[in-house]
């Protein structure tokens, strides 16, 4: 085409329009394809357009002078040189002319079009004319532009993602990687493209695992996950990879996208939390143990006071009050230690087939003093027929006792507490209800959390530490059961429902057995050697034993115990474990090695009372294990069961 002006020419007939029908069909096809026809004479610069071509340009025939120069005036100025060069090259090479460019419509609107054409030559090889088509491709261009924009956005997101993004084809080769791979591996991402993990030098064992996960995603169309460690420029790091299948139009898996996240910091945080939790549990256990040491002489002192016949009136009432509050403090310490043991998985259930009625009987014995001291009315509605469960009698009684204690503490003096026990929906159920302070709706979901307390409970004298209900839930779950709290709101009481699986055994369970009673009167006096580095605890316990008719001595270290025992020949040695220098285990082993003390009963007296602690004391030669602060009844139970001919081996309490 040239810039030479030429007279307007009429629109020529379409090439090949031999019949009216052919012309009509061709026009319909061109219209549907947004395509027009054109011809150009390179010698005269004359141009002829079809009606569709005018429509594409939004021009009327009288608005176009039918010249190549006029056509080029409609081409967007930035595209003109490229279009002209493409036309000349196609004519010179006798090839198909193809070019996409923009035209300017009236009003300045830009439109993308595609031009195709081919020159017709004379016998001498000179071009006579060029025949071609013009197609509106603006819609396709908009879609392509949108796709390119989307791809740029995705690429920007991918390259700014901290995760490593990789796409694999069915040959397990990388077809895409983002820039994050460079930071993790120290290798340019271009090295990954078109290569498999094996070709990239991944260790064979790790490569086999990766390839197996990728192949599974291709074969099943299901996502997968893989955790692994990798040592690179950042040092040893931990990663979590997720494999996501990408499906084609036919529903087959075309690619698998790997999303690999560095979880090192997350794992370190988890380990830190676990360590903090472990330290918390150790702290709780140590705290409970250390609290027991001062409690021992206090309990001994109270027992000594209560043995005094002169204790009457105000002093007697004060001693009774102190004993009651001491018992409450001991329960708190026990709960604190139990929570720590359960958290660390140190509690072992001694399961047996027990009657629920027996569990309730034991629980009532522990809780009745608190209920009675608050003047509460207690209503019992317990099924007469035996309800048997598989569980640890002591721990289940502890659960029910805690529920009763909770009701007693959070019910104003003179309130009503009801315990119902029966079978519901194939489960053993214990329900404890009260008319106490109730539970606010926002507190109900958290009432079983450790250290959780309702707002009003914090200001009550017997509010506790917020561990009793947490202990209840954990013990219930260890038995395969559950615990649920209900309340109509603050000031409207509460209901706690314990559910336990019924026993599946066919054998008859033994009838409920009442707690054993100690027959103290009439027992002969015993020689008791108390060994404890806590001087107050040792001396007060020895004094208490002397007051009830026994001969007792106190020493405060292992060396003194090894010196006193052979010379004095005690019937029983109450031996603290945590002695300075030589601990109680070593003292026990040395006492057991002395043939002269073969008949002496060794009783561990310690603040540590887990099953593991009891096993360790038995292995060291102890016959029994008592946990501080030891009650007088516990000591008497040991003393009373020693026959005059020599001590029996007493089961640990």
Residue-by-residue DSSP string for 19-72: SHHHHHHHHHHHHHTTEEEEEE-TTT-BEEE-HHHHHHHT--GGG---BHHHHH
User: What pLDDT sits at residue 643?
Assistant: 53
Detail the DSSP E strand segments found in 94-223: 97-104, 110-121, 127-136, 164-168, 174-177
Distance CA 115, CA 86 (A): 10
Inter-axis angle of helices 558-568 and 584-592, nearest 10:
30
Question: Consecutive 10-residue runs of the chain (653 residues): their mean pLDDT?
Answer: 41 51 57 82 92 93 92 94 94 94 94 93 90 92 86 78 90 91 89 92 90 94 92 88 91 92 89 79 70 76 76 74 69 66 66 90 85 88 89 87 89 91 91 90 79 47 56 88 89 92 60 35 72 83 80 90 90 89 90 87 82 83 84 75 44 31
3-state secondary structure 129-153: EEEEEEEECHHHHHHHHHHHHHHHH
User: What pLDDT sits at residue 506?
Assistant: 35
Closest CA to 627 of 302, 295, 275: 295
User: What pLDDT sits at residue 517?
Assistant: 34
User: What pLDDT sits at residue 513?
Assistant: 35
Closest CA to 368 of 327, 323, 404: 404
User: What pLDDT sits at residue 534?
Assistant: 83
Closest CA to 98 of 111, 85, 84, 115: 115
Residue 160: strand pairing partners: none
Closest CA to 36 of 55, 22, 19: 55
Residue-by-residue DSSP string for 411-441: S-TT-EEEEEEEEETTEEEEEEEESSS---T
User: What pLDDT sits at residue 34?
Assistant: 83
Residue-by-residue DSSP string for 220-281: H---EEEEEEEEETTEEEEEEEEEEEEE-TTSSEEEEEEEEEE-HHHHHHHHHHHHHHHHHH
Token output for 388 = 């048997």
Q: What is the pTM of this model?
A: 0.41
User: What pLDDT sits at residue 395?
Assistant: 82
Cβ atoms of residues 596 and 587 within 8 Å: no
């Amino acid at each position: 085409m040239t810039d030479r002006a030429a007279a307007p020419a009429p629109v020529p007939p379409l090439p090949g329009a031999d019949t009216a029908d052919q012309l009509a069909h061709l026009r319909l096809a061109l219209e549907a394809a947004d395509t027009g026809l054109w011809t150009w004479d390179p010698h005269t610069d004359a141009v002829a357009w079809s009606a569709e071509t005018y429509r594409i340009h939004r021009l009327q025939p009288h608005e176009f002078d039918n010249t190549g120069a006029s056509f080029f005036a409609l081409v967007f100025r930035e595209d003109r040189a490229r279009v002209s060069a493409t036309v000349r090259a196609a004519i010179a090479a006798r090839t198909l002319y193809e070019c996409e460019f923009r035209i300017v419509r009236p009003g300045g609107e830009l439109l993308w079009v595609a031009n195709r054409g081919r020159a017709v030559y004379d016998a001498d090889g000179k071009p006579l004319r060029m025949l071609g088509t013009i197609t509106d491709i603006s819609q396709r261009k908009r879609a392509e532009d949108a796709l390119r924009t989307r791809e740029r956005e995705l690429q920007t997101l991918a390259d700014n993602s901290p995760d490593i993004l990789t796409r694999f084809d069915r040959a397990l080769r990388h077809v895409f990687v983002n820039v994050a791979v460079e930071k993790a591996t120290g290798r340019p991402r271009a090295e990954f493209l078109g290569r498999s993990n094996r070709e990239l030098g991944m260790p064979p064992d790790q490569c086999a695992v990766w390839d197996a996960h990728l192949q599974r995603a291709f074969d099943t169309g299901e996502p997968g996950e893989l955790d692994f460690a990798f040592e690179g420029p950042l040092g040893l790091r931990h990663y979590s990879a997720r494999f996501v299948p990408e499906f084609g139009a036919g529903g087959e898996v075309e690619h698998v996208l790997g999303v690999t996240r560095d979880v090192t910091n997350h794992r370190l945080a988890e380990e830190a939390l676990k360590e903090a939790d472990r330290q918390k549990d150790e702290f709780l256990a140590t705290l409970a143990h250390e609290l027991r040491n001062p409690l021992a002489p206090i309990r001994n002192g109270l027992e000594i006071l209560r043995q005094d016949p002169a204790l009457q009136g105000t002093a007697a009432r004060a001693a009774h009050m102190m004993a009651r509050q001491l018992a409450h403090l001991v329960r708190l310490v026990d709960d604190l230690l139990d929570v720590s043991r359960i958290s660390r998985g140190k509690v072992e259930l001694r399961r047996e087939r027990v009657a629920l009625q027996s569990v309730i009987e034991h629980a009532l014995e522990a809780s009745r003093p608190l209920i009675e001291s608050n003047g509460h009315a207690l209503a019992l509605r317990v099924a007469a027929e035996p309800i048997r469960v598989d569980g640890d009698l002591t721990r289940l009684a502890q659960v029910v006792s805690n529920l009763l204690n909770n009701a007693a503490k959070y019910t104003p003096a003179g309130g009503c507490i009801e315990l119902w026990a029966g079978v519901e929906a194939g489960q053993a159920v214990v329900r404890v209800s009260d008319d106490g302070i109730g539970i606010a709706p926002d507190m109900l979901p958290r009432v079983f959390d450790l250290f959780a307390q309702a707002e009003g409970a914090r200001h009550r004298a017997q509010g506790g530490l917020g561990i009793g209900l947490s202990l209840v839930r954990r013990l219930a779950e260890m038995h395969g059961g559950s615990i649920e709290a209900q309340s109509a709101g603050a000031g409207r009481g509460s209901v706690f429902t314990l559910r336990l699986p019924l026993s599946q055994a066919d054998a008859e369970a033994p009838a409920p057995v009442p707690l054993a009673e100690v027959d103290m009167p009439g027992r002969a006096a015993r020689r008791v050697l108390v060994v404890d580095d806590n001087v107050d605890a040792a001396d007060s316990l020895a004094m208490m034993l002397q007051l009830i008719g026994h001969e007792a001595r106190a020493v405060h270290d292992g060396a003194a115990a090894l010196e006193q025992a052979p010379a004095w020949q005690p019937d029983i040695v109450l031996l603290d474990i945590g002695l300075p220098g030589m601990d109680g285990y070593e003292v026990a082993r040395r006492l057991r090695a002395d043939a002269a003390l073969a008949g002496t009963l060794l009783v561990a007296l310690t603040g540590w009372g887990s099953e593991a602690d009891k096993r360790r004391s038995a292995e060291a030669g102890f016959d029994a294990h008592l946990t501080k602060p030891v009650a007088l009844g516990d000591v008497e139970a040991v003393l009373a069961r020693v026959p005059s001919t020599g001590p029996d081996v007493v089961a640990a309490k």
